[in-house]
A = this chain, B = another copy of it.
Amino acid sequence: MPSHSHDDPPTPDTSAPGAGPPANRLDVVCLGNALVDVLASAKDADLMELDLVKGTMALVDHERSAAIYDRMGATTEASGGSAANTAAGVAALGGRAAFLGRVADDLFGQAFTHDIRSIGVAFDPIPTAAVPGKVVSGHCLVLVTEDAERTMATHLGVASEFGAVDLHDGHLTSTQVVYLEGYLWEQGPAKAAMREAIETAHLNDAAVALTVSDPFCVQNHKAEFLELLNGDLELLFANEEEAMMLFGVSSFDAAVDAVAETGVLAVLTRGAQGSVVVTAGGPLAVPAAPVGAVVDTTGAGDLFAAGFLYGITNGLSPEDAARLGGVCAAEVISHVGARPLADLRALAVEAGLFG
């Protein structure tokens, strides 16, 4: 397996300034759970009653998903899925993105496919035949509390069957970055598919990025994630809490030191405090972008990753890429839903990041 480090920039094309990527090369291929978000307002007391931990994502079976849904207020449905939101963000910035995931041929699967394609992301799934109430597309119940925090209960449905058959070689062999969702690490066939994707990426000079996704993912897969940092990954995304859990340290500074030792480019997000980019040259703190009223934090991390990935695959320094991540995250938390509504490209230009 090829070994990449900071001497080996994660994005081959930025190492050849001016040359630019081949016209048909993708910026990012994202692998993740294809989910439709089902959003409703909720109170803290509702979360307690439903036994949900605020700010986290829980995997639930069909029965529990139905029971939570029954207790939710009026909902809005919109396409979601962490890595899918990231792909949508890259496309909204003008980038070339593809998504790999599994849907069923039901209304949720059709809406997911329509929405991600309509924003310009390449997505060519092999839909599983749906059986109402049994074989369904994945969906994520999102309870948005008054403090704009989101708490999620995901019923994966057919997304849990994502595997090697869903990989699209045409995409994986022609991209600058392959981006993996930590949530997928819960599932055996998905894990095997990701291992295969890592190999294909490296054979084709692509960098591999991982988001650890959620504290529970770090808890469940800590050893494997640490192992991936030893040669499989060129780029790591984690928030403050996840980074501390991953390295088993009790301060953010210690997490920064620990990730620096791995030699992997890392972006650690800290909510309103912005982010820290850990490069071979040391850590760089990047302030958060200004935001008006925070309405719904769903998708904040996903859109941060979109801005960063678009940035580093399109000529920005890691620091400016983190700034762009902040701009994208600020947009998505200013409204309900996990995909951008405003013109991200225009916001990036406004922030002075592109001519």
Contacts and interface: CB of A to CB of B under 8 A. Distances in A.
Interface of A: 40-41, 69-70, 72-79, 88, 105-108, 111, 114-116, 118-119, 130, 132, 337, 339, 341
Contact of A114 (B70, B115, B116): B70
B77 A114 contact: no
Instruction: Give the one of A69, A76, A105, A132 with max B CB within 10 A.
Output: A76
B119 A106 contact: no
A76 B78 contact: yes
Contact of A119 (B74, B105, B114, B337): B74
- Indicate how many identical chains form the complex: 2
A337 B76 contact: yes
Contacts of A76: 76-78, 337
B106 A75 contact: no
Nearest to A70: B114
A162 to B, nearest CB: 21
A316 to B, nearest CB: 25
B78 A119 contact: no
A119 B114 CA distance: 29
Nearest to A79: B74
A73 B337 contact: no
A111 B339 contact: no
Given A107-B106, A107-B108, A119-B74, A114 B69 contact: yes
Q: Which 9 A-B pairs have the closest CB atoms?
A: A77-B77, A74-B115, A107-B107, A76-B78, A73-B118, A74-B118, A74-B119, A76-B76, A75-B115
Contacts of A108: 107
Contacts of A106: 107, 132
Contacts of A114: 69-70, 72, 74-75
Contacts of A107: 106-108
B75 A111 contact: yes
A345 to B, nearest CB: 15
Given A107-B106, A132-B106, A118 B72 contact: yes
Contacts of A130: 132
A97 to B, nearest CB: 14
A38 to B, nearest CB: 8
Contacts of A77: 76-78, 111
A73 B120 CA distance: 10
16 contacts: A40-B118, A41-B341, A70-B114, A72-B118, A73-B118, A73-B119, A74-B88, A74-B119, A75-B111, A75-B114, A75-B118, A76-B76, A77-B77, A77-B78, A107-B107, A130-B132
Given A75-B111, A106-B132, 17 more contacts: A69-B114, A72-B114, A73-B118, A73-B119, A74-B78, A74-B115, A74-B116, A74-B119, A75-B115, A75-B118, A76-B76, A76-B77, A76-B78, A76-B337, A105-B132, A107-B108, A130-B132
Contacts of A105: 132
